[in-house]
Amino acid sequence: MDLQIRGGRVFMGKRVQVMDIWIKDGRIAALGGPHVADDHLDVAGLLVLPGAVDIHVHFRDPGQTHKEDWETGSLAAAAGGVTTVVDQPNTLPAVNDASAYRDKLITARRHSIVDFCLNGGPGNVQELLGEGAAAIGEIFTYEMGEERLRDLLFQVEDADGLPTIHAEDGWTIRRCEEGMRGQQDPDVHSRSRPPQAEEAAIAQALSLTQKRVHICHLSTSGGLELIRRAKKAGRAVTAEVAPHHLLLNRRDYRKQGTFLKVNPPLRSSSDNQALWDGLRRGDIEAMASDHAPHLPEEKRQEIWEAPSGLPGVETMLPLMLDAVRANRIPLDRAVDALSTAPARILGLKGKGEIAVGKDADLVLVDTRARSEVLAYRLHSRADWTPYQGRTAIFPRLTMVRGEVVFDGDMAVRPGYGQNLPGPGRSASRVREED
C-alpha cells in the first residue's frame, strides 16, 4: 500500500466507524487492516468524509479571469472539501462547440487542483458530448422560446446526454419586469422573477422531454412540489439545491442589498423551510454551490445593473457540517447530498463514496473546530462572501486520489486535477489521447 489513513472516524455505508483506510495508486484499496504501507497519516479523532462533488460551478475561465480562474476556483474548492467540480459552459467564449471545449480543457488541465468535468452549452450537442462533456447545461430556459428548448432537449435526448435545466420562464420574467423598472429596492429582483417563473419552466421542461432531466438550483416550494409529483409518476428527474436558497431569503437584502442578486432569486423563509424538508427527505437529492463569483465593485452597482451570482464553492460543505451539528440535517443525508448523489447523477463511478475501489478523495474534519466564515480567509477571487460571520466547520485537510491537495495551504501543484470525461466520449478518442 502507498498510504495508511490511521484511526479516523470514517463515514462509510451511511455511518461512522473507526477504521484505517489503505490507499494504493490513488484509490481506496482496503478498509481495515492489517496491511503494510509506505507512509501513514494519523487522523485519530478526525471525521473522514468522501470529498464533495460540486456539479455546478462557474469558474469564469476563459474570459473573466478577474472574477475567478481555474487555479483560484479549484483552490477554493479544495479548501472547502470539494474534490470534484463540474464547470458550467457560460464562460467567454461559451463552450458551445468542440473547439471551445478543447480550449477550456487545456486550461483546466494546466491549472485545476481538484478533479473536474466540463459541461457543454446549448450548441453542437453531439460534438460536445463526443468530446466528453459531462452534461448539457445549465440550459438557461429564460433565454429561449419553447421551440428552441424543445429542439435542444430533443438533441440532448437523441445523443443520450443529460440536460441540466436552469428553470426560469423568460416570458413571465419579462412581463413582471416591465412594471418594475423604476424601482431600486433590491427586493425588486425577487419580485421580478417570481416563483411562478420557476414553476412554469420546470413544468415546461418536463413536458418537452420524457427522458432524464436534472433541475439546477431549485428555489421554490412550488417547484419542489412539481418535482415530487413527477417522481411519483415515474419520471426520471433529479434536483439540486444551492446553499443560498437554504440559508438566505428576501429579508437578507436589508443587510446585504444588491450583493444578494442571484438567479433564481432569493425567496421567502417558507421556501427555505420547504427546501430543507425536501433535502432531508431526499426529494432533492443533491447540493450544488452554483459558485458564481463577481467582484464587490460589480455587485455594488444598482440592482438592475449588478451582475447575478454568489460565490459558494468553499463554504458549502463547511456550512452544511455546521447544519449537521445544529441538527438541521442528519450527517448521512448531508454526505449523500454533497458527495454520493451528485456523483451518481453524473455517472462519476470513482467518486462520491468511501468504498474499496473508489478514488481516495477524502476530507478530514475536526468537528469541534467551529469557526466564523471570513472573506479574507477564503480563496476565491470574488473576495467577499454572503455568509460573513456565520459559523462553519472547515476541513483540516483535503485529499484527491490519495494526494493531499489542501492542508491550510495549497499542497499540490496546479494542474494536479484530472478531467473526468462524460460517458459520451468515444473510446477511440480516449485511446488516441493516451
Please choose, from the candidates 217, 310, 222, the residue with its C-alpha nearest in 3D space to the C-alpha of residue 258.
310
Residue 309 touches ligand DOR, criterion: CB under 6 A = yes
Q: Which is nearer to Zn ion, 138 or 271 (CB)?
A: 138
Q: Are 226 and 206 in contact (CB under 8 A)?
A: yes
Residues 75-94 within binding reach of ligand DOR (CB under 6 A): 90
Nearer to ligand DOR, 101 or 259 (CB): 259
Kindly state whether residue 61 participates in binding Zn ion, applying the rule CB under 5 A: no
- Environment class of 184 (CB within 10 Å of its CB; exposed 0-12, middle 13-18, buried 19+): exposed
Closest among 20, 50, 45 to 334, alpha carbons compared: 50
Is position 97 annotated as part of the catalytic site?
A: no
Helices H, strands E: what count in the chain?
16, 18
401 binds, among ligand DOR, Zn ion, none (CB under 5 to 8 A by kind): none
262 binds, among Zn ion, ligand DOR, none (CB under 5 to 8 A by kind): ligand DOR
Q: Pick the catalytic residue from 69, 87, 290, 336.
A: 290
Cell of 420: 473526468
The least distance separating ligand DOR from the CB of residue 90, rounded to whole angstroms, comes to: 5
121 binds, among ligand DOR, Zn ion, none (CB under 5 to 8 A by kind): none
Under a CB-based contact definition with an 8 Å cutoff, are residues 360 and 21 in contact? yes
Can you tell me which of 68, 69, 290, 314 binds Zn ion, judged by CB under 5 A?
Answer: 290
Q: Are strands 403-406 and 397-400 parallel, antiparallel or unpaired?
A: antiparallel
Burial degree of 40 (CB within 10 A; 0-12, 13-18, 19+) = middle
Q: How far is the CB of 194 from ligand DOR (least distance, A)?
A: 16
Task: From the list Zn ion, ligand DOR, none, pick the one residue 90 interacts with, judged by a Cβ distance below 5 to 8 Å according to partner type.
Answer: ligand DOR
Q: From residue 48 to residue 67, what is the string marking binding to ligand DOR with x (rule CB under 6 A)?
A: ----------x---------
Each as own residue / partner, the long-range contacts of residues 296-300 (CB below 8 Å, 24 or more positions apart, any chain) are 296/259, 296/382, 296/383, 296/384, 298/67, 299/258, 299/259, 299/261, 299/384, 300/258, 300/259
Q: What's the min distance (Å) between Cβ of 140 and Zn ion?
A: 9
| The only residue of 262, 275, 335, 341 in contact with ligand DOR, by rule CB under 6 A | 262
Among residues 165 and 405, whose Cβ is nearest to ligand DOR?
165
Burial 306-317 (b: 16+ CB within 10 A, else e): bbebbbbbbbbb
Residue 263 interface partner, choices Zn ion, ligand DOR, none, CB cut-off 5-8 Å depending on type: ligand DOR
Establish if 166 lies at the interface with ligand DOR (CB under 6 A). yes
Question: Of 183, 204, 256, 308, which lies in the binding site for ligand DOR, with binding defined by CB under 6 A?
Answer: 308
Judged by DSSP in three states, 203 sits in: helix
Q: Which residues are known to be catalytic? A: 290
Binding site for ligand DOR (CB under 6 A): 58, 90, 166, 262-263, 292, 308-309
